[in-house]
Amino acid sequence: MNGLKTMALMVTLTLMLVFVGGLLGGKTGMTFALIMAFGINFFTYWFSDKIVLKMYRAKPVNESEAPELYNMVRRLAQRAQLPMPKVYIMEQDQPNAFATGRNPEHGVVAVTTGIMRILSSEELEGVLAHELAHIKHRDILVSTVAAAIAGAISYLAQMAQWAMIFGGRSDDEEGGSPIASLVMMIVGPIAAMLVQMAISRSREYGADAGGARIAGNPLYLSSALKKLHMASQRIPMDANPATSHMFIVNPLTGGGLLKLFSTHPPMEERIARLESMRSG
């Protein structure tokens, strides 16, 4: 079922990109967007995990190098009925973690050195279970494709803007009208961002619930989230905004409008849902 949902979301995002390309550039724009969508999906499927791990200089560890962490991941993976994922450590002071990999057979769990310093064993178990739930649900692939296609729509909108400025397309040329192009230049990137946010937020809630079940106690994760949220506000991290949705807590600090457009759900709501699972 998760595989079908993943495929449906990827097809929907691809059609959204093609639709925007058609509005902005007619048949030519639609063809260009379709080629771009295939390229994005192919590249993301095969290489996104390697890129993000290299971006954060994550290093693989084995059982002899990090026995407690490795054995904890192995125990939780067995409980979740998942293949043993690769384990990586990032030299980062901010306590955080993410999962990547195109499917459960190629899953990766990466944690920062900061998270291993401040969390108890039970709290770290809750975080690792959350990341394994992402792998089990195939969330990473969909979220990464959503981010890439959102960026592609913004790129198409910028191309259309420059084309209108320099007279790249005449009114009688086959394709969408100039008014439709103008509207899409404004609405398209916002719509793509909202889709990306909706996918990321719903999948964070799902991974919280799934991780609580894998760990066996939702309070492990809720306690960890409280610590991680406070620490992320105090300890900066040089994170790429395009990958911020992958982390268990948003590595980028900020308030006001930035909070409204965060790919992560409100921390208070995540904690409340976990605690209600325990009381229930």
Residue in 153, 235, 160 with CA at minimum distance from that of residue 192: 153
131 noted as active-site residue: yes
Give the 3-state secondary structure of residue 51: helix
Helices (H) and strands (E) in the chain, counts: 9, 4
Task: State the DSSP string of 178-234.
Answer: HHHHHHHHHHHHHHHHHHHHHHHHHHHHHHHHHHHHHHS-HHHHHHHHHHHHHHHHH
- Taking residue 207's Cβ as centre, other Cβ atoms within 10 Å add up to 25
Half-sphere exposure of 229 (CA within 13 A, CB side): 14
Distances (CA, A) of 128 to 74, 87, 238, 279: 10, 10, 22, 22
Euclidean distance between CA atoms 215 and 231, whole angstroms: 23
- Active site residue: 105, 131, 174, 268, which one? 131
Spatial strand order in the sheet of 97-100: 59-61, 86-90, 108-112, 97-100
Q: Kindly give the pairing relationship between strand 86-90 and strand 108-112.
A: parallel
Q: Where in the sequence numbering do the catalytic residues fall? A: 131
